[in-house]
Amino acid sequence: MKSSTNNIDLVEGEHYTIENGLYVWTKYYLQERGYCCDNDCRNCPYDFSNDKKVISLVPSWTDTLLECDVKVVGRTRFCINPAEKIADIPVVGGTKTLKAEKLAGLNADLAILDKQENPFEFLEQLELPIFSSDVISLESLLSELIRLNILLKSKKLNTLIFELDTMLARPQRSFGLEKLPGVIEWLKQPEQEVNKILYMIWRDPWMCVSVDTFIGSMFDYLGFPGLIPKFETKYPKIVLEDYDEKSTLLLFSSEPFPFDKKTEELKSLNYPSAIVDGESFSWFGSTAIRFLQQNT
């Protein structure tokens, strides 16, 4: 028998016992699952004290932690969500540079980094415990959320883990391109079948994403597997003219490059194309989870 959500092969005596015809989960299984189901399980090992003070150097984590009422005492200048909660949190630098003098006096218990966002040198600059995530897919987001909450013990973060785990266990929904979630504006609708999607993140030079990124994982989950190409690097520079104008769909992300402010220029291209909400596709954590919950 397998767990319905996280694909664990369940073994009687190790993961559960049967008493009066009912399954009783063991403490070992509940720890392996990684979250509390809030069903008052007899062997529940979870304690949600949630008392740590955190410096978050990753915008996606900052957004997620603040939604889950974790005490964030330091952030980067790119941590802009949720707007109503970040104003009073000190800025300690950017995602690539830190200001050591800004870190003093924050009395943080933990610094949160991500391997895709922050340079390795941050590990040497921060004189406090560090959690370094590596989120490259929805599945890795789940495992990193579980790992993080072992340290933070947040009840609301636990609920978010449960929601993502449950969502990933459901069959994926397939959309037609005309109903692609996250589209802000179609610049030119496809006139024939599309066999490739280039998710554009920069101009001069043109840059897009490879399928082996969090963004690629989002498109796979939304029912477009195989349309975002696999490149040698995760964020390659490309020559746009190398791609067929009829069968290649260009999706221009609203961030990090402000394509949403360049629509008139982009309409001059001969490719089918649209402006899409960059935060929905690239901000892992609560933003991506809420986006998928609303659209799947």
Band (1; pLDDT cuts 50, 70, 90): very low
- Domain of 111: which CATH number? 3.40.50.1980
CB 121 within 8 A of CB 35: no
Q: Is residue 35 part of a domain?
A: no
Domain boundary (169, 191, 211) is at 169
Q: Are 80 and 120 members of one domain? A: yes
Q: Are 269 and 218 members of one domain? A: yes
- Tally of residues, the chain: 296
Lowest-confidence region among 87-96, 166-175, 258-267: 166-175
Q: Are 204 and 185 members of one domain? A: yes
| Structural tokens at position 96 | 């690539």
Q: Is residue 59 part of a domain?
A: yes
Lowest-confidence region among 15-24, 38-47, 52-61: 38-47
| Residue (of 258, 269, 113, 280) closest to 183 by Cα position | 280
Q: Is residue 17 part of a domain?
A: no
Band (6; pLDDT cuts 50, 70, 90): low
Number of structural domains, the chain? 2
Task: Please tell me the predicted confidence (pLDDT) of residue 2.
Answer: 43
Q: Are 59 and 164 members of one domain? A: yes
Q: Is residue 15 part of a domain?
A: no
Q: Are 200 and 290 members of one domain? A: yes
Cβ neighbours of residue 51 under 8 Å, at least 6 residues apart? 71, 153
Q: Is residue 192 part of a domain?
A: yes
Q: Rounded mean pLDDT of the chain?
A: 89
Task: Please tell me the predicted confidence (pLDDT) of residue 146.
Answer: 93
Q: Is residue 23 part of a domain?
A: no
* CB-neighbour burial class of residue 21 (10 A; exposed 0-12, middle 13-18, buried 19+): exposed
Other Cβ atoms less than 10 A from the Cβ of 174: the count is 11
For 202-267, the DSSP string reads ETTTTEE--SSSHHHHHHHHTT-TT-SPP-SSSS-B--GGGS-TTTEEEEEESSSS-GGG-HHHHT
Q: Is the pTM above the cut of 0.75? A: yes
- Domain range for residue 83? 53-169
Q: Are 164 and 252 members of one domain? A: no
Task: Please tell me the predicted confidence (pLDDT) of residue 12.
Answer: 77
Q: Are 192 and 289 members of one domain? A: yes
Band (233; pLDDT cuts 50, 70, 90): very high
Q: Are 234 and 253 members of one domain? A: yes
Q: Are 192 and 285 members of one domain? A: yes
Task: Please tell me the predicted confidence (pLDDT) of residue 141.
Answer: 97
Q: Are 137 and 205 members of one domain? A: no
Average pLDDT (57-67) is 96
Q: Is residue 183 part of a domain?
A: yes
Share of the chain above pLDDT 70, in %: 97
Domain boundary (124, 148, 169) is at 169
Task: Please tell me the predicted confidence (pLDDT) of residue 201.
Answer: 97
Task: Please tell me the predicted confidence (pLDDT) of residue 100.
Answer: 79
Domain boundary (152, 169, 186) is at 169
Q: Is residue 28 part of a domain?
A: no
Task: Please tell me the predicted confidence (pLDDT) of residue 7.
Answer: 61
Q: Are 182 and 288 members of one domain? A: yes
Average pLDDT (68-88) is 94
With a cut of 60, say whether residue 293 has pLDDT above it. yes
Task: Please tell me the predicted confidence (pLDDT) of residue 257.
Answer: 96
